[in-house]
A and B are shown apart, each in its own frame.
Chain A
C-alpha cells in the first residue's frame, strides 16, 4: 500500500456504499427464503414462499404480461426514437435546434403524473375523449388495457432512445459518410448503408435499456393497466399487500428476486454493450459535421406533423389534461367546465396537513437531499478516482445492483432494513430513511454524472498539485473540486429533477410526516380523490419545469 493515497478514506467510503447496497438486496434475498414475514417468529427458512408464488397463475400472467409489455414498448420506442434522432441530427428540418431540448421533456415527467394525465384527458370520460365523442359519436381508443399501455409507455420512452441514437449520430465522423457520397451513393443510400450500421451498437444499447425500463415500470401499469386487470410484476408486488390482507413480505421478496434475476443480466449486458459501443465510436476520421440532408417542402411537413403529433400525445394531452382537471371540481359527460372552474382543489391542499407536508418534503428532499446526494456521489467517485487497486472495478459492479431494481423494490427493501435493524428503527419515520433510499435509487445515474466530470480533469493537474506539496485531500479540495464545480452544479440540478419525479421509492417508506408528492399520488389513487391528485400532479409538473429550467440555466448535460 502506498502512503498518502487516502487508502483508509477510500476503503471506508466504499465499505459504506457496499453496506448501503448489499443490505437491502441481501435482506430481499433472505426474506424470499423465509416462509413468512421476517418479524414473524414462526417463519422458517425454506422455499415455501417461492412455491406459493410459482403456483399462483396470476404471477405467471404478470410475468408474461411484463415481457410482452417490455418488448412492445421497445417496438414502439426504438424505431420512433431512431427516426427522431435521424431527423433532428441529419436533416435540415426547420427549427430542429430548439426542438432538441423539447423532445426530451417526456423523460423528465413522473410516470405516475403522466399516467394520471392520460386518465383525465384520454380515459373513458377524459376531456379529449368526450370532445371526440361529441364530434363522431364514440371514443375510438381505449387507454386501459395492454395495447393502450404499450403504446403510451412506448411513446413516453422515445427520448430514452433518441438520446443514445442522436449522440451516436452526432459523433459519427462526417468523412465516413462523405466517402460513401463520393463513391456515388445517394444521401438515402448512405443513410441506409453507412449511417444505420454505424449507429446499430447505440440502438442495441438503447433497446437493452428500454427492456430494463419496461421491467421496472410501475406508474403507468398501475394507472392504465390495473383498472383493466392487467398486472405486471411491479404492480403484482404492490397488489400482493392488498390481496392477502396481511403483510406478505415473503411473497413480495420472491417476486423481487425473480425480477432481479431478469434485470441484473440485462444491466450487465448493457454495461458490456456500452463498452463495445465506445470501441466502435473510435473508428473513423475527424469529427467534422456532415452536411445535413435537405428535406423538400413535403418532407418538412411530414416531419413536423409526425413530431408534432408525438409531442401532442405524449406531452401536451396528459399535461394539458392535468392543468384543466386541477382547476375544476367536476367533470364528465354533459358537464360544462366553465361552470365548474375553481381554486378549491389547491385550497384543500393547504387544509390537509399531510398534503402540505408532502409538498414541503418533496422540495426539501429534491433541493437539499439532491445536494447531499451529489456530495455523497462525489465522495464515492473520489474514493475510486485514480485508484491503483481494483476498487474501481468493484464499484462498477456494486452500482449495477440498485440499477437492476425498480424504485418500488428498493423502497420496500429499505423499509425492511429500517424495520429490521433495531438501531435504525428511530430513523424510519424520518426523511433520512427516504433520502437514503433515494440516494441508492439515483446511485448509478448520479455516479455516472460525477465520474464523467471527473474524467475531464487531466491527471497532470492533480499530479502537479501533489508535487507542489499538496496532500491528496488538499489536491481534491483545492484543485479537483473547484475544476469540476460547474459539473457538480449541473449534476445537482439533474438529481433534483430525478428526486422530484420519484414516486415509487416512497410508496412503502412513506410514514406520517414523511410524505412526498409522488408517493402521495400513488396512495391517493386507491381512494379516488381525483381533485387532490390533480392539484398535486400539477404542482409536480410545475416543480419539474422549474427544475428543468434551472438545469438548462446551469448548463447541465445528461450523461446517460
Chain B
C-alpha cells in the first residue's frame, strides 16, 4: 500500500486542492463579486457622496442664491421704498410747480395786458414824435432862408426847400454828397474859391461861428450873393457837423451898390464945380490973369476960403456916408505906428511953426509892428493933430504919447480891459466946456468955443474918427478942462484892427 495510498492521498489531496481551489475560486469569485459589489457600492457611495456633496453644494449654492436673492429683494424693497419716497417728493414738487406755473401764467397774463398798454402808449408817443418831427421838418423846410447841414466829413445831411429853390438841387440829389461839390463858392468874377479858403472848412476845423457874405454857385452854374451864417453843431458834448443858413442878398447888394455909386457920383459931381472955383481963384490970386488990387485979392481970398470949406465938407460927407453904409474895408497889415505918426505930424509942421507951438513926442522903447490899416489910422491921427493945433493958442504945447498898456492898467483916467496900444494926443488949448463934452463925438457938432475960434470946421472930424475906431475894435475918449487943455486917448487892442471885407477904402 504505500504508493496507492500515497496516490490516493495525493489524489485526494489533489481532489481536495482542486476542491479547495474551486472553493477558493468560488470564494474568489464571490469575493470578486463582493468586491465588485463593494466596489459598486463604494462607487455608488462615492457617487452618492458626490451627489450628496453636489446636492449639498447645490443646496448651499441655492441657499446662497436664495440669501442673495433675499438680499436683493431687500435691496429692491429698499429701492422701491426710496423710489416711492422720491416719487412722493417729486409729486410734491410737481404740485408746487404746477401751482407756480399757475401763478406765472396769471402774471404773464397781467404782463401781457401791461405790455399791450405800453405798446399802445408807445405807438401813441411814436405817432406824436413823428408828428412833432414832421412839424419841425415842415418848419425847417418852410423857413425862407436856405439851410444845409453837414456831418464832420462835410457830407450833406439835411437841406430845406429854400435851399432846393435857391440852388436848383433836389434834396435826394444832394444828401450824402460833399458840400464842396454841391455848393461851390465863387468870387465876384465867378472863379471858384479853393477848399482850403472856404469858411465851412474853417468851421469844420475850429468849431467856431462865422458869418459872411459870399457868392454861391447854383446847379446851373449861375451864381448869386448870399449872407450866410455857419455854426458848429454840438450834440451830447461832441461836435457832429456844421449847419449853415443863408439868404439871397442880390437885392441888398444892388441897393448897396446903388447907394455907394450914388455917393461916389454925387461927390464927384459936387467936386467938379468946386475944383473949377478953386483953380480959377488960385490963378487969379497968383496974378496969372493980371495984377489984382488989394481989395480984389482980399475978396477973392474969401471966395477961395468959402470954397475950401465946401470941399472939406464934401470930403467929410463922403467919408461919413461910407462909414454909415458900412462899406469901408479894413485891411490890417503890420505897421510901424511911430513912423506913421511922425509922417502925419510932418504934414502939420508948417502950422506948428506958424503958431510957434512946441511939439513933444514920446514913445515906448521897442514898440513892435501892429496889425493896423494905415489908411484908417492916418485920418485918426490927422484929425487929432489938426484939432490940437487948431484949438491951441500960439506958443502952446502939443504932445504925442505912444505906448503899450497892459490889461487892467490905467490910460489917463480909465482902466483898459485888454492889452492895448495907446495913442494920446494932448494940448494946452482951449479945452472943451464940461456941458458940451457928451456931444463931442456926434455928427456935425462943434462946441461953442471951437466955433468961435475956427468957424470953418464941419464938426465931422471926431464923428469920423470915432466911427473908424468903433468899426475896427478901438476906443476913444478924452479929458478936458476949459482954458487948460485937452487930452484925447485912443486905444487899439494889441492884436490890432479886425479885418473887414468891404467895397471901399477910406478917402
Whether both chains belong to one complex is answered with no
Chain B contacts to A: CB under 8 angstroms? none
